[in-house]
Amino acid sequence: MKLVRLILLTIILTAFSGLIHVNAQKILDKPWIKENTPTRRVVPYTHVREADVMWHRRIWREIDLREKINHPLYYPVIPINDRKSLFDVIKYAVVEEKTLTAYDPVDNEFTVPLTVAEAIGKMGDSLTIMIEDEWGDPSIPQITYNEVTSDAIVKYRLKEDWFFDNERSIMDVRIIGICPYMIATDENGNYKGIKPIFWIYFPEARYVFANYDVFNRQNDAERRTFEDIFAKRLFNSYILKRSNVYDRYSIDYLTGIDLLLEADRIKEDIFNMEHDLWHF
């Protein structure tokens, strides 16, 4: 009889502890259930016919995350409950969810896809360190992998197309690809420069970006998503290259202030093209 009571008491205590555990999982971090962003769907692009494109220019531009206006793409460097940095979103989609395909960083035409293992290899540095042998002499080289974290991402490069759609009579822009750039260091932690990680095909990434919030400085209840940031052009950048017969970047033939002046000139050319089309 005592054994039966002990068994029943054990079952009751186990069920009660399980009930407490379940209730703990239902705690909300805010007074409402967040449903808008996690279930948000991407607004499809308007169809464009080739015959309606009367002017087109391909542009490469760079987003510097050290600029204050671009900080919502950089922070938080450590993921929190309701927000991640843009790189952590891309990294999770490529490695964990496998909903994004990474492409070789030297190929901005998306012809060389990377496997998940290759993408992980690109998201870090291979460093050679010297370890001690049996006599305590640091003479044995060993290759280690230093995984990049979100705080090491300093820039993003965009590949985009500007065109005038004759059917809708507007100048439109479509981002084609995005590439994060990381800080490269040597085995002693010294700065070596920045290097690209991989390219992401942006029309595919839109379905991922649409479900992650970006901090809104004015109102926490009206946060945008990463998709909104790029669609509404809520970032600052400078132009590195436009399509040209030499297929070269501005830095290949300009230096210093001339680089910024050339970027402004290209931006002004696009503005003037749209303005001239509406000139009567």
Q: First vs last Cα of the chain: how many Å apart? A: 101
The helix (run of H) or strand (run of E) holding residue 88 is helix 86-92
Q: Decide: 120 and 102 in contact? Cβ < 8 Å.
A: no
Distance CA 41, CA 265 (A): 37
CA distances from 136 to 131, 132, 141, 143 (A): 9, 5, 14, 19
pLDDT for residue 280:
52
Distance CA 179, CA 215 (A): 22
The helix (run of H) or strand (run of E) holding residue 126 is strand 124-132
The one-letter amino acid code at 234 reads: L
pLDDT for residue 40:
86
Distance CA 200, CA 273 (A): 29
Measured from the Cβ of residue 91, the count of other Cβ atoms closer than 10 Å reads 24
β-strands 153-165, 53-64 pairing: antiparallel
pLDDT for residue 185:
77
Distance CA 94, CA 209 (A): 13
pLDDT for residue 49:
95
251 closest CA partner among 60, 58, 54? 60
pLDDT for residue 193:
86
pLDDT for residue 249:
93
The helix (run of H) or strand (run of E) holding residue 132 is strand 124-132
Q: Where are the beta strands (DSSP E) in 65-198?
A: 102-103, 124-132, 138-147, 153-165, 170-185, 191-196
Q: What is the mean pLDDT of each run of 10 residues along the chain (280 residues)?
A: 60 57 61 82 93 95 96 94 93 94 92 93 72 65 73 96 93 96 80 91 96 91 92 95 94 91 93 78
Length of the chain (residues):
280
pLDDT for residue 22:
47
Q: Decide: 69 and 175 in contact? Cβ < 8 Å.
A: no
Distance CA 127, CA 147 (A): 11
> Which residues on neighbouring strands pair with residue 171, listed in sequence order?
164
Distance CA 272, CA 277 (A): 8
